[in-house]
Amino acid sequence: MKKVFYSLFAAVVLTACGSEKQAPIDREALVARNNPQVASFDSLASLSVGNGEFAFTVDATGLQTFPSMYSKGVPLGTQSQWGWHSFANPQGYKSEETLKAFDFGRGHEELYACQFKEAGRQKEASDWFRVNPHRLHLGIVGLELGEGVKASDITDIRQTLNMWKGEITSHFTLNGNAFDVQTVCHPDQDMISASVTSRAHAGINLRFPYPTGAHADDACNWDANDKHSTTIVRQDAQSAVLKRVLDETTYYVTLRWEGKANLTEKSKNYFVLTPDEDMLAFSCLFTAEEPVADQVLPAFTETAAASASYWTNFWTNGAAVDFSHCTDPRAGELERRVVLSQYLLAIQSAGSVPPQETGLTYNSWFGKFHLEMIWWHQAWQPLWGHTDLLDRTLGWYETVEPVAREIARRQGFPGVRWMKMTDPSGTEAPSNVGSFLIWQQPHFIYLAELVYRSNPSDEVIQKYNKLVQETAEFMYAFATYDEFHGRFILKGAIPAQETLRAATTINPPFELSYWHFAMQTAQKWRERAGGKRNLEWDEMIDKLSPLAYNEDHLYLASEDAVDTYKDIRFTSDHMAVLGSVGILPMNKLIRDDYMKNTLHWVWDNWNWGKTWGWDYPMTAMNATRLGEPEKAVGALLMDKRTNTYLLNGHNYQDGRLRCYLPGNGGLLTAVALMCAGWDGCQVKNPGFPQDGTWDVRWEGLSPMP
C-alpha cells in the first residue's frame, strides 16, 4: 500500500484555535493503552489485520480456525476490493430491464432502477442485479487441530492486537500443548503472514467456500462443492499456487512456507499444510491474476517488519488526540473508540474503491457499497492528516463517470448523477429507496474540497475539477424553479431521512443546505481553475428555499411534513435536519436559534431506538457548532444499542449489522470538529465542556469548512 506522509510538527505543537504550547503526545503510549485484548472465544471480539485493499479477520487462535462460531457475530472474513463474483445469467437480464418511468413535475420523464414486486421478467431482472455482483470470501486460513477438536477444548487464551505494529499475537493451550501465533498483513500486497509455534506440529488448513449471494452474511456456502473447484497449478518444496474457479470468476492463492512441510488435498476445496517442525511460518497471497512463475513471497519476518513500519508511520504522521489528561470518567471510553476507529477504518475503508458498510469483514447489501455513506467512512481522513487514503478512493469516481453520466441522461439531466448502491463497475443496484436518494451527489464536491484544503495546489484542481463541475451541473438542473414564490426547490427525491417519500417530499432541510454549500464550493473551484463564476448557479444559490419550520420554531423534516413533531414516521430514522448545521457550516437558509430549538427537541423526544451509528456524531457536530459542548460529548457516548462499540472497536447496530463502519468514521469526523473547530472558529476545543474536566490535547487535526 503506497503511502504519502504529510509532515506535521516538531517537538512543540500549537493547538489550532489558540496559541497555547503543549508537550508532544506520546503516540505509541496512546495507541498501546487502547490495544484490544481477548481472553475467550467471543463471536463479537474477532480481530483484523489489513491494508485498505484487503483484510483478514481471526478468532482467538490468531487464524480462522472456528469460522462457524463467528458467522453470526463479527465473521472471520478474507475479503478484497477486487474479489467479486456473479451467478450465471442464462436468461440474459439487462440493467435497462430494471428501469421504471416517473414524472416528478420537472417537465420530462425520469427513469429509475427499481425493485419490481410483481412476478415476471422485470422482477427477475431487478432481483438478479440486486444480488450480482457480490463480494467474495476468498478463503478460510485456519489451524488444523485434529478431528473433533472444539473451541471449548482450548484454554489459557491470551490475545492482543498491537495496533502500533499491525500484529495480532495469540497464545492458547490445547491438550497440554502451548500454541503461540503471530499474524500480520503485508501493507502493499493482499497477503497475510503468520508464525505458529507448538510442539503439537499443528497444520494450517485452507478451505474455500462458494458464495451465498445473501444480503448480509459471511458469504460462505459450505454445501456447494460441486459448483466450484480449487486445483494446485504449481508446487515445489516451499510453495504452491492454487487456482480457484467459480463460474466465470477465477482467482489465485499463493502459499509459501519456511522449513519442512507437506501440502495435501484433504477433500475438495480443502487443503492442509502440515509441518515437520515445532515452528511453521507461512505467507498466503490472494490475487486476481495468476502470479508469475518465479515470484517469491516475502517471508513472515519481512512481512512483519513491513507491517510494523507502515503502522508506525501511520500513527506517527497522522493526527492524534489524547484524552488521558481529562478527569471526566467518560474520557477513557471515548479515547478507546477514537483510537480503534482509526485502525479499523485504515484497514477497512481506505481502498481503491469506496467501502461497504461492513468493510472487508463480511457482506452487507451483498458486499456492495453505498455512495451516500462515503462521507461517513472517509471525510475524517484529510482532517486527521491522512489525505492520501481519501485521494486513493476518489480516483474511482473517474472510472465510473460514464455510468453516472448515463444515469443523469436517462433522467433528463446534464452532468453526472452518482449512483447509490453499487460495485466497482458503477452498475446501479435496483432499489425503491436508494435510486431516489440525492444526498450522495454533493459528497464528491465536499470530499474533493477536503483534499484541496490539505493540499491547495493546481495539481489537485486539475485532478478533480472536471468531476466537481459535472456534479454541480446535475445539481443545478435537478433543482426546480418555483416561479410563483420566486425560489428554487428540491423535490422528487427521498432524503437522507428515508422514512419520507419521493412523491411528496419537498425541500428536505439537509439536502437544501447541502445544495447551498456544494454549489458555492463548485463556484470556488471554477475560480481556482481560472474560470468565471456561473451566474445561473449564483442565482440558484441566492434563491434556494430557506428551511421550513412550524409555529414552535422547529425545523420540519421537509416542507410538506407539517406533522413532523406529531407523527412518529418523521421522528424515527436519521434526524437529518441536524445535518444541516454540523456536517455543514451555518448558512443563510437557517436561523441558529430555530436550529437550537430543533436540537433540544430532538435530544429530548427523538425515537433514538430507530437511529443508526452515524446519527450520534451528526448530533455531536450540530451541538458543537451551536455552542452546546455537553450535548456534543453526550451524543458521542449516549447509551443506546446503535451507539455500542465492541471490544474490537466495531460500531454494533443490531443482529444483522454487527459492525457498521460509518459510525466509526462519523465519530472521528465529529472529534476533529470538536477539537479543531471550523473556519473562523475562535474557541479552543469547542466541542468539549470548558469546566476543566475535558483537558483534551491534540496534534495535527485540520478544521472543517
Which sequence spans correspond to the domains of the chain? 37-83+133-305, 93-129, 478-589
Count other C-beta atoms under 10 Å from residue 421's C-beta: 25
Backbone φ and ψ of 294, nearest 5°: -100, 15
Q: What distance in Å separates the CA atoms of residue 471 and residue 401, rounded to the nearest whole number?
A: 10
Please report the pLDDT score of residue 173 as a whole number: 98
Please report the DSSP string for 114-162 in residue order. Answer: ----SSSHHHHHHHHHHHSSEEPP--EEEEE--TT--GGGEEEEEEEEE
Q: What distance in Å separates the CA atoms of residue 597 and residue 615, rounded to the nearest whole number?
A: 18
Please report the pLDDT score of residue 3 as a whole number: 38
Count other C-beta atoms under 10 Å from residue 530's C-beta: 9
Task: Provide the β-strand partners of residue 239.
Answer: 256
Please report the DSSP string for 351-378 in residue order. Answer: SSSPPPTTTTTSEEGGG-EEGGGHHHHH
Is the peptide bond between 442 and the residue preceding it cis, with omega within 30 degrees of 0?
Answer: no
Q: Are 616 and 636 in contact (CB under 8 A)?
A: yes
Q: What distance in Å separates the CA atoms of residue 223 and residue 334, rounded to the nearest whole number?
A: 43
Please report the pLDDT score of residue 21 as a whole number: 82
Fold of the domain built from segment(s) 37-83+133-305? Beta-galactosidase; Chain A, domain 5 (2.70.98)
Q: What distance in Å separates the CA atoms of residue 455 and residue 387, rounded to the nearest whole number?
A: 9
Q: Is 258 helix (H, G, I), strand (E, B) or coil?
A: strand
Element (H, E) at 401: helix 401-410
The C-alpha cell of 58 is what? 481471526
Q: Are 240 and 233 in contact (CB under 8 A)?
A: no
Please report the pLDDT score of residue 56 as a whole number: 98
Q: What distance in Å separates the CA atoms of residue 429 and residue 452, rounded to the nearest whole number?
A: 31
Please report the pLDDT score of residue 20 as a whole number: 58
* pTM given for the model: 0.96
Question: Strand locations in 529-677, DSSP E?
Answer: 644-645, 651-652
Please report the pLDDT score of residue 294 as a whole number: 84
Question: b vs e for 368-382, b when ≥16 Cβ sit within 10 Å of the residue's Cβ?
Answer: bbbbbbbbbbbbbbb
pLDDT, averaged per 10 consecutive residues of the chain (705 residues), comes to 36 41 95 98 98 98 98 98 98 97 96 97 97 98 96 98 98 97 98 96 96 97 97 96 98 96 97 96 98 91 98 98 98 98 98 98 98 98 98 98 98 98 98 98 98 98 98 98 97 96 97 98 98 98 98 97 93 96 98 98 96 98 98 98 98 97 98 98 96 98 98
